A and B are shown apart, each in its own frame.
Chain A
Amino acid sequence: MVLAAVVVFVPRMPRWDRVKKSFFDVEQMRDSLPRLLDAFWLDIKIFAWTTPAIFIAALLIALARNSRSPALFPVRMLAAAYTDVMRGVPVILWIYLVGFGVPGLGLERPFNSPLLWGSVALGMTYSGYVAEVFRAGIDSVHESQRAAARSLGLSSAQTMRHVVLPQAVRRVVPPLLNDMVSLQKDVALVSLIGPIEILRQAGIDKSKFANFTPFVLAALIFLAVTIPLTRLTDYLWHRERRRTSGTRVAA
């Protein structure tokens, strides 16, 4: 309905011609496409190296927060403080602070690259969020599962690894995916401290040709990646659920 209304009415607006020219210029798209794709490769690279780091860090933080031994109280405190601080400050601020601050210490190449430290800042923030998702997943696994595993003689580490975590992770796949889609877009924020990724390249093209079409094209390129990624993960998740579950309730 809404879509139909947009398709029907928007072209009837008085200034549509101008908007069409400066936002949906096919010639401009064709011209910018190779440059934007090239720059987008950097987004993918940043995404590709931050994601595993985020997952590992987040998992360790979540495990630290879920530890039960009284002796590990300081570890739990530290992990809680980390997530609070990381989530409490806007991503963009972390990128500025870490991305400009650390290279400013006068480190040698390649450790003085804003790209590197921008990615680190991104990873720091996101590991705070993802750690909370993991923690919620771990908490959602019923205590009786631990009792069953421990009663069989499994150690608490084995119980976590073989019984609790696999169930926890399966349960939080949708929110994890949510964070990954979000990260995929926030990668563009690293451009604010220098690296020429897609958003920055689109900005350059926009200024050069006085036309907004490169931004629209950049949006389309983002969608071309995030939508299939979402669908694929949804599919895998549902397949796993069907495999292990009993009869489904009829619609």
Chain B
Amino acid sequence: MTPKVSLRGVTKSFGTNTVLRDLSLDVAAGEVVSLIGASGSGKTTILRCINLLEQIDDGVVLLDGDEISAIGRDPNPVRRRVGIVFQSFNLFPHMSVTRNITLALTKVLGLGSEAATQRATELLTRFGLADKAGAFPDQLSGGQQQRVAIIRALAMQPEVLLLDEITSALDPELVGEVLDVVRELKGSGITLLIATHEMAFAREISDRVCFLHAGSVAEIGSPSQVFGAPRDERTQQFLRRVRSN
């Protein structure tokens, strides 16, 4: 079967700093894959390359076998199918929660404002934020903001959702409510690619865990294998460091 998302020999540099080196990774439709690894190992860059926020220097990125990384290709149809949630939420501060969600629904998908609002309300209700529909981002807690950001991406009904360290900017007691949203998404058919520092969560939610080192895949396998019996020496070192904290 064609993988949902596929990176083949991807290289990406920022100036003289090579962030991804000849990286290859396949993710099946509906699969949940976590990307773990030290800061700077390339987790965020992989996600941004799939969403075409970054242009790769070499290799190809495929979505359903279709080369989306081709130079000069309109990125917008791809972005409609691939959502991303950022570490720092990036809600639009001048818009209400509802407007944050409906903006792309009306402008990109062409939904009428009533249909868009209805979709936003349904999702807000489903994730316990119905009372915040009219609030502005700065009036919400970090956890609430990040849940709104997830809803904003989900409202586009993407086939793939990329989660970029979505709990890293949150207070510890707010992490749970955000992860609960992700737990609910698993098994809904959506393909999830999760860059994370939450090892326990990665172990719990992932079908496969991918350990990155210096811009390449050092080890990939089931959570129990990668966390329980890591084969690569660098994975072992990384996990020891993380656990000793």
Contacts and interface: CB of A to CB of B under 8 A. Distances in A.
Closest 10 CB pairs of A and B: A148-B90, A152-B104, A153-B108, A246-B138, A153-B79, A244-B136, A153-B80, A151-B84, A144-B90, A153-B76
Q: Which of B79, B88, B104 has the most CB of A within 10 A?
A: B104
B86 interface: yes
A56 B94 CA distance: 22
Contact of A162 (B51, B76, B84, B103): B103
B152 A152 contact: yes
B234 to A, nearest CB: 30
A162 B75 CA distance: 19
B44 to A, nearest CB: 11
A244 B92 CA distance: 11
A149 B109 CA distance: 14
B107 A170 contact: no
Contacts of B36: none
A154 interface: yes
21 contacts: A148-B86, A148-B91, A149-B92, A150-B75, A150-B79, A151-B51, A151-B83, A151-B84, A153-B76, A153-B156, A154-B76, A154-B104, A154-B108, A158-B108, A163-B92, A163-B103, A166-B94, A167-B93, A167-B94, A244-B138, A245-B136
A67 interface: no
A246 B142 CA distance: 12
A154 B86 contact: no
A152 B103 contact: yes
B139 interface: yes
Interface string A224-251: 0000000000000000000111100000
A136 B83 CA distance: 30
A57 B41 CA distance: 46
Interface string A103-138: 000000000000000000000000000000000000
Contacts of A144: 86, 88, 90
A163 B79 CA distance: 17
A147 interface: yes
A203 B150 CA distance: 66
B53 interface: yes
**Do most interface residues of chain A lie in helix, strand or loop, or is the interface mixed?**
helix
Nearest to B54: A147
Interface of A: 144-145, 147-155, 158, 162-163, 166-167, 170, 243-246
Given A243-B136, A244-B94, A244-B138, A155 B88 contact: no
Interface residues of B, number: 27
A9 to B, nearest CB: 50
A235 to B, nearest CB: 19
Interface string B156-172: 10000000000000000
B87 to A, nearest CB: 9
A147 B79 contact: no
B61 interface: no
Contact of A147 (B83, B86, B136, B139): B86
B79 A244 contact: no
Contacts of B103: 152, 154, 162-163
A148 B94 CA distance: 14
A154 B103 CA distance: 9
B153 interface: yes
A158 B80 CA distance: 15
B154 to A, nearest CB: 11
A243 B92 CA distance: 14
Contacts of B91: 148
Contact of B156 (A150, A152, A246): A152
Given A150-B79, A167-B94, A246 B139 contact: yes
Contacts of B80: 153
Nearest to A142: B90
Given A162-B103, A245-B136, A246-B139, A152 B94 contact: no
Contact of A150 (B53, B88, B107, B153): B53
A247 B75 CA distance: 39
A156 B91 CA distance: 17
B92 A148 contact: yes
Contacts of B94: 166-167, 170, 244
A153 to B, nearest CB: 4
A97 to B, nearest CB: 41
B76 A155 contact: yes
